[in-house]
């Protein structure tokens, strides 16, 4: 009697992504993406990763944003995808459910802050004044988005905050590009900057991923190797 062939073993499950401890340690520059449609999400994220920028912030400004986050989370595991322009508790839950591994908001309220603190991923609530920084420090939050960076005082303002509020650290976003990003990154209270200059709309529309990769590589080199925490 011929023994039955052994049943094939099922494939091992895909490993879960490592948790992100801090958004500020992922890369010197976090690309801020406004996806025109979901089809651009995966090739765009892959081009950025090849260029050395693993953290990818997809803003919730377009109808396809959540599906774009989901596609990047599933198909580009080497990327660390997050959601930006998060302004409601509902968006917090939807973003995390789609696979976002960090959240960024242009500002904060008590309700939004509570939702972000309970969501299980790191977050950067937005501030633009010293009072807002103090209020977040009072609530135990030390990492923040400084927005709109240039309009709110730029490097001079952040340098002024470093003396009385050294425990606060920032990701400045808004009006930052290749001409001034390096200056922001020299500040002791700046962990990274956010911007979109490495993902110009015409390159995204044309599918010019090689150009985006080149721009990403230049941005990644603004302050040495990224110390990824994932």
Catalytic residue list: 57, 145
55 CB-near residues (< 8 Å, 6+ apart): 23, 26, 27, 30, 31, 79, 80, 82, 102, 192
Q: Which residues contact 156 (CB under 8 A, 6 or more apart)?
A: none
Distance between CA atoms of residues 82 and 98, nearest Å: 10
Distance CA 155, CA 184 (A): 6
Distances (CA, A) of 175 to 36, 89, 147, 190: 21, 27, 9, 15
Q: Are 122 and 102 in contact (CB under 8 A)?
A: yes
């Amino acid at each position: 009697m011929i023994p039955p062939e052994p049943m094939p073993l099922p494939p091992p499950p895909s490993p879960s992504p490592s948790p992100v401890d801090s958004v500020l340690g992922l890369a010197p520059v976090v690309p801020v993406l406004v996806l025109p449609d979901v089809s651009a999400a995966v090739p765009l994220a892959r081009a950025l990763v090849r260029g050395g920028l693993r953290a990818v912030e997809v803003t919730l400004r377009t109808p396809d944003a959540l599906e774009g986050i989901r596609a990047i989370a599933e198909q580009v595991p080497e990327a660390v995808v997050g959601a930006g322009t998060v302004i409601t508790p509902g968006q917090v839950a939807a973003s995390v459910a789609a696979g976002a591994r960090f959240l960024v908001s242009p500002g904060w309220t008590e309700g939004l802050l509570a939702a972000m603190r309970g969501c299980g991923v790191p977050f950067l609530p937005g501030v633009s004044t010293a009072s807002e920084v103090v209020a977040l420090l009072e609530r135990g939050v030390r990492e923040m988005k400084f927005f709109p960076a240039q309009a709110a005082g730029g490097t001079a303002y952040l340098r002024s905050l470093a003396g009385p509020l050294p425990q606060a650290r920032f990701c400045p976003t808004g009006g930052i590009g290749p001409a001034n990003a390096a200056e922001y990154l020299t500040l002791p209270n700046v962990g990274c900057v956010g911007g979109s200059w490495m993902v110009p709309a015409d390159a995204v529309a044309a599918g010019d991923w090689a150009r985006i990769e080149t721009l990403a590589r230049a941005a990644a080199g603004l302050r040495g190797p990224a110390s990824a925490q994932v």
